[in-house]
Amino acid sequence: MQNKEIKELLAKTAEKGYLLPSEALPLLKNFSEMNLKSIIDFFIEKLQESQSRGVVVKIELVEKILNLLKKENREERKEKGREEIETFLPEGFLQEETAKDWDGKIEVELDPSRYINRGEKITDFIRLFINRYIRLRKIIESKIEGREVEDIEDIQKYSSQERKQVTIVGMVFSKRKSLKGNYILELEDLTGSIKVIVNKNMAEAAHIIPDQVIGVKGRVWKKGVLNAEVIYFPGPPRTKPKTFEREIYMAFISDLHIGSKAFLQKEFQKFLEWLNLKRGNEKEKRIVSKIKYLIIAGDLVDGVGVYPGQENELMERDIGKQYDLFIKYMKKVPNYLDIIFVPGNHDATRLSEPQPSIIHHYIEPLKEERRIYSLGNPSRVVIDGYKVLIYHGKSLEDWNTVLPRRKRNKPEEAIHEMLISRHLSPLYGSNVPLAPESFDFHLIEDPPDIVQTGHLHINGEKRVNGITCIASGTWQRKTIYQAEMNINPTPGIVQLVNMGNQQIFRKRFL
């Protein structure tokens, strides 16, 4: 780290009440692993966790934090494994087939549009939560094979003297911290509810969030209270990284926000020219000619009336005309590409999730011209055998509030949490308006090969147990709202996945 950076780290930790000792300076000078902001966030988080007493932090603790940082960084590098397209030299692929020669096969596995309850009288969420509980309990039970899961009602009969060990599966009704810093959960199943104490040192504690379903093995501490010894999450699922005998690419983008004054028209135009092989060097063109699928995770247009005062930020105030523009751009995508998209919270469909596909007549003219898949949000498609789960990602706002500081605004980390929970958006009553359906469409039952989200306007990639997580960015410049929320978007980037070997690339147009 440079002196200027060290100074900033010292100032920021001091602001929080921690003084780093002078012996730490040479250690910090030799440290050059990450960007400054991540280092500062990590330091503050670990110092707060350590509950170290006294103002001056012990050198041993500084050493420990630096080692943790190094380890974390190594793991992150290992997980990411993506490259900038410009530096990539393909090897090992013999056939020079292009996407034009490949017919491809897309099956829509699950699209909520077809099943959504239209006007039936369902006024509560009980059916949705029972459906979630039963399906996730099955997944957890299959993971803890041989261990008998008891109903919460039946545990109430055990007294504290027995210290009986039991296993339950419950939905987290609430999570709070005790004065000692441990967590107190209230878990519910179909028979009753129970308090569960989770020690603050259990690493799993950080991943628990309300309305998620978890398994707990523990001992009855007193009547109606369980001391957790092991926490079982339904995920992350394991799946063998998919392989495919062809070098064919999927391109992932999101959050175009066409109609907004901040839409990056010039850059999007460049992207379209690149898809048409009118830009880029020979190496890139070779890859681009093999892109067969374009997948867009919602917010195709900026919409109207999405937030107060939006009209002042719109270049086009008529939503129909915004979609006309979208269609105009999509018509420029080479015809041999299949386009798949879902709506986001700015698109023309109901806001509550699961969202049905975008109102048909806005998209109709595009359908007449080419093969497109306009699906609901979230949806699952199988593309040449690859199971792809596409979700706009409104819940990323919720995940941000439960993720540790250094993982905030890293949407790929939120996707990792979704896979641990086997659920895209468990939290009820927060940022995601949920519809009271009787089937939980956000549940991740069958492990996908690829999960794509958008919404946060920040790109990210990660691999979790053979699953490729793609957080797509945006084609909109930083908005005032994002500036206020301290969100730094990464606009103008397309991510490619080589279906031959799951390699991920980024290409920037800004």
Interface residue list for Fe ion (CB under 5 A): 299, 344-345, 455
Q: How far is the CB of 383 from Fe ion (least distance, A)?
A: 23
Q: How far is the CB of 269 from Fe ion (least distance, A)?
A: 22
- Strands 504-508, 82-84: pairing is parallel
Question: Is the bond leading into 241 cis (omega within 30 degrees of zero)?
Answer: no
Is 216 or 297 the residue whose CB approaches Fe ion more closely? 297
Is 187 or 256 the residue whose CB approaches Fe ion more closely? 256
Judge contact between 374 and 365, C-beta under 8 A: no
Is 170 or 344 the residue whose CB approaches Fe ion more closely? 344
Is 119 or 305 the residue whose CB approaches Fe ion more closely? 305
Which residues, 6+ apart, have CB-to-CB distance to 390 below 8 Å?
295, 297, 340, 342, 375, 377, 378, 379, 380, 381, 452
Q: Which residues of 264-280 are buried (b: 16+ CB within 10 A; e: fewer)?
A: beebbebbbebbeeeeb
Q: How far is the CB of 480 from Fe ion (least distance, A)?
A: 16
Q: How far is the CB of 303 from Fe ion (least distance, A)?
A: 10
User: Taking the C-alpha atoms of 438, 420, 251 and 367 in order, what is their torsion angle to the nearest 10 degrees?
Assistant: 0
* DSSP state, residue 490: -
Is 56 or 483 the residue whose CB approaches Fe ion more closely? 483
Instruction: Name the residue type at position 177.
Output: K
Is 235 or 376 the residue whose CB approaches Fe ion more closely? 376
Instruction: Name the residue type at position 464.
Output: V
Q: How far is the CB of 299 from Fe ion (least distance, A)?
A: 4
Q: How far is the CB of 422 from Fe ion (least distance, A)?
A: 23
Helix %, strand %, coil % for the chain, to 5? 30, 25, 45
376 vs 229, 358, 389, 441, 476, CA distance in Å?
A: 40, 7, 11, 10, 23
Give the three-state DSSP class for 470: strand
Burial of 130: CB neighbours in 10 Å, binned 0-12, 13-18, 19+: middle
Q: Whole-angstrom Cα distance, residue 57 to residue 76? A: 27
Take residue 463 and report the two structure tokens written for it. 């691999």
Judge contact between 226 and 197, C-beta under 8 A: yes
Is 69 or 301 the residue whose CB approaches Fe ion more closely? 301
Give the three-state DSSP class for 9: helix
Q: How far apart are the first and last CA of the chain?
A: 29
Q: How far is the CB of 298 from Fe ion (least distance, A)?
A: 6
Q: How far is the CB of 393 from Fe ion (least distance, A)?
A: 7
Take residue 164 and report the two structure tokens written for it. 């009986």
Q: How far is the CB of 45 from Fe ion (least distance, A)?
A: 28
Phi, psi at 426, each rounded to 5°: -70, -35
Is 137 or 477 the residue whose CB approaches Fe ion more closely? 477
Q: How far is the CB of 255 from Fe ion (least distance, A)?
A: 6
Is 44 or 342 the residue whose CB approaches Fe ion more closely? 342
Q: How far is the CB of 121 from Fe ion (least distance, A)?
A: 30
Is 299 or 398 the residue whose CB approaches Fe ion more closely? 299
Which residues, 6+ apart, have CB-to-CB distance to 429 below 8 Å?
none
Is 46 or 392 the residue whose CB approaches Fe ion more closely? 392
